[in-house]
Amino acid sequence: MNFEIIAQSMPLLLAGAGITIEISALSVGLGLLIGIVVGVCRVCNNKPLRYFSAFYVEIIRGTPLLVQIFVVYFALPMVTGSRVDPFVAAIAACSINSGAYVAEIFRGGIQSIDVGQMEAGRSLGLTWSQTMHFIILPQAFKRIIPPLGNEFIAMLKDSSLVSVIGFEELTRRGQLIIARTYASLEIWMAVAFIYLVMTFTISRFVAYLERRYRND
Amino acid sequence: MIKIRGLKKNFGNLEVLKGIDLDVAEKEVVVIIGPSGSGKSTLLRCINYLEEPTSGTIEIDGMELTSEANINAVRREVGMVFQRFNLFPHMTVLENLKLAPMKVRSISQGEAENMSLELLEKVGLASKANSYPEQLSGGQQQRVAIARALAMKPKALLFDEPTSALDPEMINEVLDVMKELAHEGMTMVVVTHEMGFAREVGSRVVFVDGGMILEEAPPKEFFANASNERTRRFLSKIL
């Protein structure tokens, strides 16, 4: 192990980790928004909305993220005729992808709430949306914190795929440094360690949320 | 107040209600009894459209239930108390009561709070306003559920076996609240196995079996000399 190489490469790797964090944070945030909306649509009474949301989930979950990134970045411009900014393409592909998984997590959470809760809300004159908003979702949210944590960690790791459209995020930086230094062992260890620090931080945060909501 | 005509309800191929006609006048307490699986709960749940009838009409206070909009309007006026309470576990008792009046009737936070505390006083649980449902006994939870239904100032209340999920020693505290409501003139439709309650405060007892109303009479008459054979057999088992 040549620790000097690790030390020298650290600024470059950390800059790459910054990009990894930026892309995953934005994708997770947007994915969460998409997921809530689509997840609620999956259980709503409107048939077209229900079918459309199921279709979205099946398509996205059934194709690789790598292919989705290629579709957004290379294939879409051939249809629209205008280039897509790589940053926009990366965020779009990752958040649309994450949204499908988050939607399924929300659907599961909503369906795990006793039907009596919806009935009680409706019997009081609340509309379906009001009951969903004030009664079902707050309860469902507490239950889905652990699987949401999983999804966020998975997104952070999967964000390495955006290197294919030119992003020098953490994994890509590692590759480039190795191409120059041949220090495979040191650099991959360092890259793995940085990922681990990031994912461990997320899992600690999720554990904190779980504790906080349990004591409520 | 409530007028049901030719009410039928199928679950798939199973015909649960086979044509029910029932009227409930203002201030009446109608007690629905019958063996399990007779359709009595389904009948009650059709009244506020928690179950959508397959055919037939339901009129509440002169308004026929048809569109989504007037179903919401009617549900405001008809409260429901469930067997399993169905309190909102993530809210305090007070929040459980305040929510619907504030969102549906758009009354202010302060007004909702005052009214809720008054209702909790009425069911003897003012001291539990800031507790969460899980911290209460079954009987207390059901009394909160009744108060929550009352917070909407309903014109009628539906009770779906309100004491069936309770330990025996807690049944009376709930029945006492219901009796008080009956004496105050609340219109009530009650599905229950509590024959004492039916006898004491019921204006009418309705016997349902096999998805049909087989007998309907004031409690005295009903319990003393039921005319229908199946009613008598049912009564002989439970009395």
Tens-place pLDDT, residues A85-119: 999 999 999 999 999 999 999 999 999 999 999 99
Count of beta carbons in the 10 Å neighbourhood of residue B2 = 22
Q: Name the residue type at position A177.
A: I
Identify the closest residue of chain B to A139 by CA–CA distance.
Answer: B90
Mutation for B interface: A46, A124, A144, A212, most B CBs within 10 A: A124
| Position B236 pLDDT exceeds 90 | no
Could you tell me if A77 and A12 are in contact, meaning their C-beta atoms sit under 8 angstroms apart?
Answer: no
Q: Which residues pair with B215 in a beta bridge?
A: B207
- Predicted structure pTM score: 0.90
pLDDT at B158: 97
What pLDDT score does A147 carry? 95
Quick check: B82 contacting A, CB < 8 Å?
A: yes
- The count of other CB atoms within 10 Å of the CB of residue B222 is 24
pLDDT, tens digit, 9 for 90 and up, residues A173-188: 999 999 999 999 999 9
Report residue B185's pLDDT band, with 50, 70 and 90 as the boundaries.
Answer: very high
Q: Quick check: A195 and A103 in contact, CB under 8 A? A: no
Contact A126 B84 (CB under 8 A): no
Q: Which residues of A touch B150 (CB under 8 A)?
A: none
Tokens of B55: 């055919």
The rounded mean pLDDT for chain B is: 93
User: B10-54: per-residue pLDDT in tens?
Assistant: 999 999 999 999 999 999 999 999 998 899 999 999 998 999 999
Is the pLDDT at B68 greater than 80? The verdict is no
Q: How far is CA A107 from CA A102, A134, A209, B82, B238, in A?
A: 9, 16, 20, 25, 44
* Res A54 pLDDT > 80: yes
Query: Are B103 and A142 within 8 A, CB to CB?
Result: no
Residue B174's pLDDT is 96
- DSSP β-ladder status, B2-11 and B55-60: antiparallel
